[in-house]
Structure 1
Amino acid sequence: MSGASLKVLVVGGGIGGLCLAQGLKRAGIDVAVYERDRTRDDRLEGYRIHIDPDGAKALHSCLPEKVWAEFTAGTVDLGSFRFLTEGLRELMELEPDAHRVPDGGPTSRSHAIDRVTLRDILLTGLDDVLHFGKKFERYERTSDGVVAHFADGSTATGDVLIGADGVGSPVRGQYLPQAERVDTDAFGIGLKLPLTDEVRAWLRPPLSTGRCMIMAPTPYFLSVSVFDRSAERPGSSGDDAYVGTAFVVRRGACPANIHALDGAELIRLVGRMISGWHPDLRRLVAESDPGSALLVPYKTSVPLKPWQSTNITLLGDAVHSMSPVGGMGGNTALRDADELRGQLVRLDGGAVSTEQAIGAYETAMLDYGFAAVRKALRYQDQGLRSGTIATSLSRASFRAMNGMMRRRARARS
């Protein structure tokens, strides 16, 4: 297939779809993104996202140099990662991977960036390929390609259709109706506490820097992450400096009406569950913004068997959604985007057929994608029972574990 004829349709303008569009446009491939949001400002909410080395490498491969520079300028250091008891006794500290990976370059370490900032960066330079207000309804395959149909009655024709349309993917619903998502045994409650001068006065280390995992002998745990760009942005808003918390709890420990609770009620619910924890943790939750409270039923995709490849495929949450524990979902979507970009470039150059290009992508994606699904579920389960494990482990045991993880990081590099 010649470069002049390849046209790629991407349904969904999340980080995976936008990263793919950036990579294809950079490679000179005709790409169009169809997003159901009415404008680019419809998604002005979110929390800090952890971009791991896989995600960073994918972004570096797909983004133009100027946009990659905007990404690195928009990130902050992750800081150390600490495991703490509910009384804030330190069990283990993991150093930032910038210190663990020998070359220390931006593609070999992790980054923290606000989700809204990341999406805004990924939209850079895509005005000519983005189509907002396009709610996908169905596709039809033709003898020479594929036609996408939208709710407003419009259509788009291309050679390849990519479903990057998230957990409720209509593309997946039509293409792979056998694909399942099932409930896990957990809810997540996300909260934000703006880092005002008043908060900075009482919030002390280790909660005021880096990331902390709070483990207790309970059916729930709490992760705490600091995002602070205020030093770089005088007069910055709450989106530039806040503490994000994620309370992960077994469903059986929650009231039956949890879905009906508003933000203030969710905060009070968490407060009751951690009533015996350190006062700083209780205050961190109690003073969080009720408007930021987000209840998320954690679900996971069921592993899929390989299927016959065509000119339709999926990426990100549309095919392998996972528990948010471990922060692998967005990074796996970025990895998908880079893997698929590489295969579509081969197709564009005539090196392979459509089925070969898509098939090679799907073979790799199903392997690493569902490995991440399993790992996220394992992390979630370990977190929900880690309090009992943590209280039985000695500090020496945690130091030994820390040493083992550092050796593995050096070996991977």
Structure 2
Amino acid sequence: MQNLHVSIIGAGLGGLCLAQGLARAGIDVDVYERDARTDSRVQGYRLRIDATGQAALAHCLPPALNTLFLQSCSAHDHPGPMLDARLQALPQRAAGTWQLDDGAVPDRSAHRQTLREILLSGLETRVHFDRKVVGLDAAGLHLDGLPMRTDTLVVAADGVHSVLRRQHLPQAQPEDTGTVTIFGVAPADCLARNDLPADLQAGAGVVFGPGYALVLDAMQLPALPPLARQCAAGPLSDIPSYQYWAVIGERAAVLGTDAVWRDIDAAPHDAQAGQRWQRAAERLLAPVHPALAAMVAASDPAGIALKTVYSAPALPRWTQPGLTFLGDAVHAMSPAGGLGANTALADAQSLATLLAQTRQGLPPGQALQRYEADLRQRGDAAVRQSALAAARIMGR
């Protein structure tokens, strides 16, 4: 089959990885993203890319871009200690999915925006920003400001608030877990030279408090523009090294008196909101150690965000022909297990592999059936693992 066209809704990591894999297979693809730019909103910073995610990127990316990804990751890749709120060792609270030893394929710490820019490289004419999906029906795909698109396979990769999932799979609506994450970045080495435990001074580790966990990762990043030129890739933003921090926990434990704030995802992200979440994180961490509160205080409020944690139900079947799903659109999960992005990348590898087989005669319907069986098995398992990881690190 030579004329398959794929429309991917959402230019997140999973959607772009799929687009790269399809382009490598010679399949015509367009990506439609509702944001006006890649940096329209704060989406996150450090990502742990595990062996599954690394394998998916190696499969979908051209070799030069995969090499660039590997070279762009943080040089500091030590998980650090597991400590309680008195900064005493507490290794048994680590999530079962975390890579804590010298495995054959160690996890890599990637900067989300850098990985997204690498995934965009070579796709510039195929990715269309500021294009919102309106819906999909028997007539075709409706996009804001564009003619209706017919004869295309639609992949909904538009995240936890997916428009097409709400339209065609409302029973898969993810539920609010009662958990939130506040995350931000502070200046590099801001935890050094104080009386914190030595490993924590190096900027990595996890501190477990009542109902929450603080995750730290010192992101020591290389100079990216020269790397991009070496690989003949598109331009990469030059990101200075930074101290990543994220607090994940029960809403009441993290926000205190602000816990009644419910419509977090609908609230505008601005400096005032960032200052609010900054104050909440400072209040939470000050009793643990003043250096941790000072780290949060040294962070730019405009780069501090709060996200509600959602968890998807077991994936039901859908009946709309010419539609499938990928990533958080159908398997939103807690970040506690570090599986969300990696599972979306694995989705991309699976679908790209099967759609490539349509060029050798596999009927597209069979390709989708096989993909969806794989998606259901892997996605449901990852959601369960992430829920267990969240319960474990919060001491439930």
TM range (shorter): 0.7 to 0.9
1:265 corresponds to 2:262: no
1:167 corresponds to 2:160: yes
Change in Cα spacing, 1:384 to 1:171, as seen in structure 2 (3 Å) is same
Letter in 1 for 2:321: T
Separation in 1, partners of 2:324, 2:11: 15
In structure 2, runs of 5+ residues without a counterpart are 227-235
| Contact 1:229/1:240, CA 8 A, preserved across alignment | yes
| Contact 2:135/2:141, CA 8 A, preserved across alignment | yes
| Secondary structure in structure 2 of the residue aligned to 1:90 | coil
Separation in 1, partners of 2:217, 2:22: 33
Separation in 1, partners of 2:366, 2:225: 48
Which residue of structure 1 lines up, in the alignment, with residue 232 of structure 2? none
Q: 1:219 aligns with which of 186, 211, 226?
A: 211
| Contact 1:12/1:164, CA 8 A, preserved across alignment | yes
Which residue of structure 2 lines up, in the alignment, with residue 313 of structure 1? 324
Q: Per-residue displacement from partner, 1:307-360 (whole Å, max 9, x unpaired)?
A: 458321000011111111122111110000000011111123212x22211111
| Contact 2:80/2:200, CA 8 A, preserved across alignment | no
| Secondary structure in structure 2 of the residue aligned to 1:157 | coil
| Contact 1:36/1:136, CA 8 A, preserved across alignment | yes
Which residue of structure 2 lines up, in the alignment, with residue 47 of structure 1? 45
Letter in 2 for 1:332: T
Letter in 1 for 2:316: K
**In the TM superposition, what are the counterparts of 1:6-405 in structure 2 within 5 Å?**
6-42=4-40, 46-77=44-75, 78-92=77-91, 100-102=102-104, 108-141=105-138, 147-195=140-188, 200-202=192-194, 205-209=198-202, 211-216=204-209, 218-229=210-221, 239-253=239-253, 254-255=256-257, 256-258=259-261, 262-308=273-319, 310-351=321-362, 353-385=363-395
Q: CA deviation at 1:99?
A: 6.5
Which residue of structure 2 lines up, in the alignment, with residue 393 of structure 1? none
Change in Cα spacing, 1:307 to 1:53, as seen in structure 2 (3 Å) is same
In structure 1, runs of 5+ residues without a counterpart are 103-107, 387-413
Separation in 2, partners of 1:294, 1:97: 26
Q: CA deviation at 1:231?
A: 7.6
Percent of aligned pairs with the same residue? 35
Specify which structure has the higher proportion of strand.
Answer: 1
| Contact 1:194/1:238, CA 8 A, preserved across alignment | no
Change in Cα spacing, 1:63 to 1:266, as seen in structure 2 (3 Å) is same
Separation in 1, partners of 2:369, 2:237: 45
| Secondary structure in structure 1 of the residue aligned to 2:382 | helix
Letter in 2 for 1:150: L
Judge which range, 152-161 or 203-212, deviates more: 203-212
TM-score if structure 1 supplies the norm length?
0.81
| Contact 1:310/1:354, CA 8 A, preserved across alignment | no
Which residue of structure 1 lines up, in the alignment, with residue 231 of structure 2? none
Q: CA deviation at 1:282?
A: 2.9
Q: Per-residue displacement from partner, 1:219-272 (whole Å, max 9, x unpaired)?
A: 2221111111168899x9994311111112322333245458732332222332
Separation in 2, partners of 1:148, 1:26: 24
Judge which range, 121-130 or 285-294, deviates more: 285-294
Q: CA deviation at 1:24?
A: 0.5
Larger-gyration structure (1/2): 1
Q: Per-residue displacement from partner, 1:82-116 (whole Å, max 9, x unpaired)?
A: 2112232333499x9696234xxxxx332111111
TM-score if structure 2 supplies the norm length?
0.85
Separation in 2, partners of 1:40, 1:269: 28
| Secondary structure in structure 2 of the residue aligned to 1:310 | coil
Separation in 1, partners of 2:288, 2:115: 34
| Contact 2:224/2:237, CA 8 A, preserved across alignment | no
| Contact 1:182/1:301, CA 8 A, preserved across alignment | yes
Letter in 2 for 1:86: A
| Secondary structure in structure 1 of the residue aligned to 2:81 | strand
Q: Per-residue displacement from partner, 1:175-223 (whole Å, max 9, x unpaired)?
A: 2122121110212111211216x6655596322436311123x122211
Separation in 2, partners of 1:302, 1:112: 29
| Secondary structure in structure 2 of the residue aligned to 1:252 | helix
